[in-house]
Structure 1
Amino acid sequence: MILRHISYMRFLKRTFFVFIFCLLLPVHTQAQKTIAVKTNIPHWATVTPNLGIEVAFRHKMTFELSGGYNPFEFKDDKQWKHWIIWPEARYWLRETFYGHSIGLHGVFAGFDVGGLDLPFNLWPEFKNKRVEGNINGIGLSYGYAWIIGNSLLLEVSAGGGYGRLNYDTFTKGSKGYKTNEERKHYIGPTKAAISLVYLF
């Protein structure tokens, strides 16, 4: 577990430096230099603070780095702890930060989830177990952004692709004992966002 944490910290440092490098690149857009700050509204419904920054770096091209973190535990051994990072390169079909976009994104996440009775019987094993692990993946995405105010946008995006899941299963509770170790390939949704975006 400690080695896994160290490797994630190294990955986060590298991602951070790539992001800073992209911020320092000259911004070329038709109108002006543009940076977008955004938040994914549905993440707030799961008590997951999140933030994203997107930078234009070529004509109709942007690079986004978004992430969220939920460190909270609830009563009765219920927890939905997780972190997630989405780096993404996007091409805008009309103009930067407006209209249709297509993108290539990565997804890197860690989770520690258990004791939850999710709606529609999704992942019924979460009710009596705790699952701790990570997913690393890549996918394609589509998005659309509407102007809703001065420098304010509403953006919807979704994506799908491939992920590699590594996780351990424990008995319910934060101090449960390990019962299983799993490694799985995943093909399906890798991104979903309804974001409020501010341009400056």
Structure 2
Amino acid sequence: MMKQMFILAMMLLATSGTATAQDVALKTNLLGWATTSLNAGVEIGIAEKQTAQLFATINPWEFSGGKKVRFWNVEPEYRWWTCQRFGGSFFGVHALAGEYNIKNVDLPFGTLPKTKRGRHYEGWYIGAGVTYGYQWLLSRHWNMEASIGVGYAYSPYKLYGRCAKCLDDTHRNYVGPTKAALSMIYIF
């Protein structure tokens, strides 16, 4: 699935026309790196005050103490800027989709119910939300961005016990924060 999303993103970029100054930005979320999550995104100017972004995150690691927060996430977003694109305030609409495998970690905001040690969740999710953010111009090519998003996600999952025995097969309707970013951006 991740391979197909990457190919689709590259096809969209290839057919988006000729890129000129202030039309394309590469970015990474520093908050994601703080949680050991590999992440990168591309944002393209589509009109005077509009951009489209595609962001991807993956965390393939296992941690000491039997802790695991393995996941991948893709997040396309449309943004409308109040003054000019790639500078100042913006409002956005985003979608999100991904898969997860979480063990011995309690997630914030009631994302998944708390569980006993040794049990783990496996599932996927799809959702959408709204975003507000601000970009600061640091230099000709570098910007810093802060953004926050809230929304809804639907997530079917299975709860496994010891010996990989499935204890529960249900779903979760989540409403709350769907993104938080403090990003470094390079603008071409």
Task: Tell me whether the two structures share a fold, i.e. TM-score over 0.5.
Answer: yes
1:89 deviates by 0.8
In 1: Cα distance, 2:160 partner to 2:131 partner: 34
Match of 1:164 in 2: 154
Match of 1:78 in 2: 67
> Residues 28 and 94 from structure 1, CA distance in 2 versus in 1: closer, same or farther, beyond 3 angstroms?
farther
**Are the aligned partners of 1:136 and 1:165 in contact in 2 as well (CA < 8 Å)?**
yes
Quote the RMSD (CA, aligned, Å): 2.5
TM-score w.r.t. the length of structure 1 is 0.83
Match of 1:21 in 2: 12
Code of the residue aligned with 1:150 in structure 2: it is R
1:148 and 2:138 are equivalent in the alignment:
yes
TM-score w.r.t. the length of structure 2 is 0.88
Q: Deviations over 1:85-104 (max 9, x none)?
A: 11001111110100011111
Match of 2:184 in 1: 196
**Are the aligned partners of 1:82 and 1:112 in contact in 2 as well (CA < 8 Å)?**
yes
> Aligned with 2:115: secondary structure?
helix
Poorly superposed stretches of 4+, deviation over 6 Å = 118-122
- Choose which of 36, 39, 52 in structure 1 pairs with 2:25: 36
Gaps in structure 2 of 5+ consecutive residues:
none
Match of 1:183 in 2: 171
Larger RCO: 1 or 2 (CA < 8 Å, sep 6+): 2
> Residues 27 and 160 from structure 1, CA distance in 2 versus in 1: closer, same or farther, beyond 3 angstroms?
farther
1:150 deviates by 3.1
**Which deviates further from its counterpart, 39-48 or 125-134?**
125-134
**Which deviates further from its counterpart, 96-105 or 143-152?**
143-152
In 1: Cα distance, 2:116 partner to 2:76 partner: 28
**Are the aligned partners of 1:137 and 1:164 in contact in 2 as well (CA < 8 Å)?**
yes
The count of residues paired between Structure 1 and Structure 2 equals 187
In 1: Cα distance, 2:74 partner to 2:29 partner: 12
1:120 deviates by 10
**Are the aligned partners of 1:117 and 1:126 in contact in 2 as well (CA < 8 Å)?**
no
Code of the residue aligned with 1:140 in structure 2: it is V
In 2: Cα distance, 1:127 partner to 1:99 partner: 45
